[in-house]
């Protein structure tokens, strides 16, 4: 029984790593798997001309995952092309959003614990206030204020908008960053309070170590495990959020989410048939589900191996 538990446990970790590596390999090999028709102006979408223009075309030799008509129904969308290039954009978005969110939240948590007292409690109360603000409200707020649709009223973007867009930050990423850092703050603050009066911290303070050195050299590294567990789960969760907002038309620029949105009339509605036109939604849906499962399994595996309260239940 122990051998079976050990095999099952490590297979969870191997499966998680295998899924993530598969997505990374697809993202890296995207130029070979789906060459860009216009390398000077790369895009996550490719429009193609087919013989059947009014209905989706099933998978075939030319288009491995089929095509479907776009809004104008003059050209078709290549599902395979978007599926491949969407993997690259999903990984970049998930990692960037998680890195920024985790770093900011960790710094706030470490500062609140190091300062302590009333100031530290005020910082935690601010974090609690942000927890009550839903991300979707931030997406709509930033979409209407910082990222208005200037293309339709011919107003050029401001310098601030140009900087954000140049960095790849849109309303969805900005909302995720602003309203997802609080769990990291809570985790780091709790870990800091646990080790705040440990001997090595007292020793560092006694020799006159500056606060920045104590925070970055001693406090934050002792919370890395819990942060990594939360971060691995957030990578997949943020990508799913981005795809959801893109599907709803609220922004985000998720290639997978936009592909589902463009093909939704062939899934539901008057001409929709999810059983007949399965290639319109099934490959992209499986890609999203698999991406989220891979990162979630990796977070569970790291947590089981690193959490001392669970380590005794993990077979060695």
The pLDDT tens digits of the residues spanning 258-275 come to 999 888 888 876 676 777
Number of neighbours of residue 27 by Cβ within 10 angstroms: 18
Polymer length of the chain? 316
**Cβ pair 240, 288 in contact under 8 A:** yes
Confidence of residue 210 (pLDDT cuts 50, 70, 90): confident
Return the HEC string of the chain.
CHHHHHHHHHHHHHHHHHHHHHHHHHHHCHHHHCCCCCCCCCCCCCEECCCCCCCCECCCCCCCCCEEECCCCCCEEEHHHHHHHHHHHHHHHHHHHHHHHHHHHHHHHHHHHHHCHHHHHHHHHHHHHHHCCCHHHHHHHHHHHCCCCCCCCCCCCCHHHHHHHHCCCCHHHHHHHHCCCHHHHHHHHHHHHHHCCCHHHHHHHHCCCCHHHHHHHHHHHHHHHHHHHHHHHHHHHHHHHHHHHHHCCCCCCCHHHHHHHHCHHHCCCCCCCCCCCHHHCHHHHHHHHHHHHHHHHHHHHHHHHHCHHHHCCCCC
Confidence of residue 81 (pLDDT cuts 50, 70, 90): very high
Confidence of residue 148 (pLDDT cuts 50, 70, 90): low
Give pLDDT, residue 241: 93
Which pTM was predicted? 0.84
**Cβ pair 298, 285 in contact under 8 A:** no
Confidence of residue 163 (pLDDT cuts 50, 70, 90): confident
Tokens of 61: 């030799």
Asked if pLDDT for residue 144 goes beyond 70, the answer is yes
Strand partners, 57: 67
Mean pLDDT of all residues in 192-220: 73
Give pLDDT, residue 299: 87
Asked if pLDDT for residue 76 goes beyond 90, the answer is no
| Percentage with pLDDT > 70 across the chain | 86
What is the distance between the alpha carbons of residues 1 and 8, in angstroms, rounded to a whole number? 10
Tokens of 87: 């993997």
Cβ-based neighbours of 292, under 8 Å, separated by 6 or more: 236, 237, 239, 240
**Cβ pair 250, 143 in contact under 8 A:** yes
Asked if pLDDT for residue 235 goes beyond 80, the answer is yes
**Cβ pair 208, 128 in contact under 8 A:** no
Confidence of residue 1 (pLDDT cuts 50, 70, 90): very low
Give pLDDT, residue 152: 43
The pLDDT tens digits of the residues spanning 35-69 come to 888 878 788 888 888 777 778 888 888 888 988 88
Tokens of 63: 């288009």
Number of neighbours of residue 299 by Cβ within 10 angstroms: 21
Domains contained in the chain, CATH given: 2-35+69-311 (1.10.3720.10)
Looking at every residue in the chain, the average pLDDT score rounds to: 82
Give pLDDT, residue 147: 74
Q: Which residue has the tokens 């399965």?
A: 278
Q: Answer with the residue of higher pLDDT: 209 or 315.
A: 209
Give pLDDT, residue 117: 81
Q: b/e map of 32-55 (b: 16 or more CB within 10 Å)?
A: ebbeeeeeeeeebebeeebeeeeb
Mean pLDDT of all residues in 297-304: 84
Asked if pLDDT for residue 150 goes beyond 50, the answer is no
């Amino acid at each position: 029984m122990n051998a079976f538990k050990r095999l099952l446990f490590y297979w969870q970790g191997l499966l998680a790593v295998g899924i993530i590596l598969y997505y990374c390999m697809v993202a890296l090999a995207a130029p070979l798997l789906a060459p860009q028709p216009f390398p000077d102006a790369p895009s996550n979408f490719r429009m193609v001309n087919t013989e059947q223009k009014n209905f989706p075309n099933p998978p075939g030799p030319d288009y491995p995952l089929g095509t479907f008509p776009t809004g104008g129904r003059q050209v078709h969308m290549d599902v395979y092309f978007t599926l491949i290039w969407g993997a690259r954009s999903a990984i970049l978005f998930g990692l960037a959003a998680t890195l920024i969110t985790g770093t900011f939240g960790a710094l706030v948590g470490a500062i609140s614990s190091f300062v302590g007292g009333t100031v530290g409690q005020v910082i935690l109360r601010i974090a609690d206030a942000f927890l009550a603000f839903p991300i979707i409200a931030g997406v709509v707020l930033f979409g209407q204020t910082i990222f208005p649709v200037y293309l339709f009223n011919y107003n050029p973007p401001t310098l601030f908008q140009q900087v954000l867009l140049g960095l790849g930050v849109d309303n969805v990423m900005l909302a995720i960053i602003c309203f997802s850092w609080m769990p990291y703050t809570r985790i780091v603050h709790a870990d800091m309070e646990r080790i705040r009066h440990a001997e090595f911290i007292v020793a560092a303070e006694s020799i006159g170590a500056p606060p920045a050195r104590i925070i970055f050299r001693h406090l934050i590294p002792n919370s890395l495990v819990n942060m990594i567990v939360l971060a691995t789960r957030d990578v997949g969760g943020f990508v799913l959020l981005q795809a959801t907002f893109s599907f709803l038309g609220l922004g985000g620029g998720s290639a997978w989410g936009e592909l589902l949105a463009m093909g939704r009339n062939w899934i539901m509605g008057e001409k929709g048939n999810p059983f007949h036109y399965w290639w319109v939604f099934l490959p992209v849906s499986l890609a999203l589900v698999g991406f989220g499962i891979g990162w979630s399994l990796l977070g569970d595996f790291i947590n089981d191996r690193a959490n001392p309260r669970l380590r005794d239940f993990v077979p060695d």
